[in-house]
Amino acid sequence: MLPTEGYAATLDRVAEWVLARRPVAVGVGCRGPLDEETGFVECVTPTDWHERPLGGDLSRLLGLPLRIVNDADAALLGELGEGESEPVLLLTLGTGVGGALWTGEGRYRGAFGEHPEIGHVPVLEDGPPCACGLRGCLEHALCRGGLLHQADQAGFGADVEGFLRSGCEGALRLRRAVERAVALFAHAYRPSRIVFGGGVADEFGDLLLPFGEVPRDRLPFLQRPLVLERARHGNWAGAYGAARLAIAVAEGRRL
C-alpha cells in the first residue's frame, strides 16, 4: 500500500484492511533503513514517514504481534524454497533498487544489524550523481526512474522498451552495467542464484536481464553454474514473504 495520505491516515487504512481479515499475527515489509528490533523506520519517502516507530505504532493499532523487516528481505523470504541451504541473492527493481542475501542459514545482516544497501554499488560508467554521494549506482541503472532517464538521454523519450531493444550505445552501456553487477555479486557472495523481483523486472526483465545460467567463460572461477532467475511471485514476492514472516511470528520463530 502506498503511503499517499500521510502517516496516521495510512496506518488507519492499513489497520482497517488487516483487521477485516482477522489475522493472529502480522508481517510487514517496509522500504528504507529500519531497526527490526524496535520497528523504528529512519527514512522513507514521503518525509512524513521519517523517523517513525512504524512497527510499534502498527502493532498497537492492530493489537497483534508484528514483525517488520526491510522490503527486500520480505521479498527474499517470499522467494525462498523450503529448507533452502545455499546462499541466494535477491534484487528488487522498482522505484529504487534493493537487495537481500540469504546466507543458507538466515538473512545476512550488516554491522549493528543494518541492512546492506546493494542498490548503491556503482556500476554505470559516467553515471549521474546519486543521493548517496557516488555516481552511477546500480539503483540508477535499473530502477524505473533511472531507466526512463537513460531512455530519454538516448533519444527515446519515455519509451524504455524501445530503448532496451535498440542496441544503441546507451543500451549497451546498461548491459555492461548489469554484467558488471552480476560479476561483482557472484564473486563477492557466490550465491547459488540471483533472483530479480519488483515491477521493473516484471515489465522489462526479458529485455533487461540475462536470465538463465551465466556462461562459464564469464565467471571462470566458479566451480558450478550461477543462475539468474525472475522472481516466482513477481512484484508480489514481498507480500508472500510478509505472510511467511507472520506465520513465523505466530509460531514464535524468527526468520
- Per CB under 5 A, residues contacting Zn ion are 120, 130, 132, 134, 137
Among residues 36 and 117, whose Cβ is nearest to Zn ion?
117
Cβ 96 to Zn ion shortest distance, Å: 10
Range list of H helices, the chain? 7-19, 54-62, 71-79, 138-142, 144-153, 160-166, 169-189, 199-208, 237-250
Q: How many residues does the chain have?
A: 255
Among residues 3 and 136, whose Cβ is nearest to Zn ion?
136
What phi and psi values does residue 48 have, to the nearest 5 degrees? Answer: -55, -20
Among residues 137 and 200, whose Cβ is nearest to Zn ion?
137
Cβ 128 to Zn ion shortest distance, Å: 10
Phi-psi region of 162 (alpha: psi -120 to 50; beta: other; left: phi over 0): alpha
Cβ 129 to Zn ion shortest distance, Å: 9
Cβ 124 to Zn ion shortest distance, Å: 10
Which of the 8 DSSP states describes residue 107? B
Cβ 180 to Zn ion shortest distance, Å: 15
Among residues 71 and 117, whose Cβ is nearest to Zn ion?
117
Question: CA nearest 56: which of 35, 84, 72, 87?
Answer: 35
Cβ 245 to Zn ion shortest distance, Å: 28
Residue 90 three-state SS: strand
For 14, 58, 161, the CA distances from 29, given in Å and listed in that order, are 13, 12, 29
For 98, 121, 138, the CA distances from 128, given in Å and listed in that order, are 18, 13, 11
Q: Which amino acid is at 193?
A: R
Cα–Cα dist 196/26, whole Å? 25
Among residues 59 and 150, whose Cβ is nearest to Zn ion?
150
Among residues 27 and 116, whose Cβ is nearest to Zn ion?
116
Cβ 138 to Zn ion shortest distance, Å: 8
Among residues 97 and 214, whose Cβ is nearest to Zn ion?
97
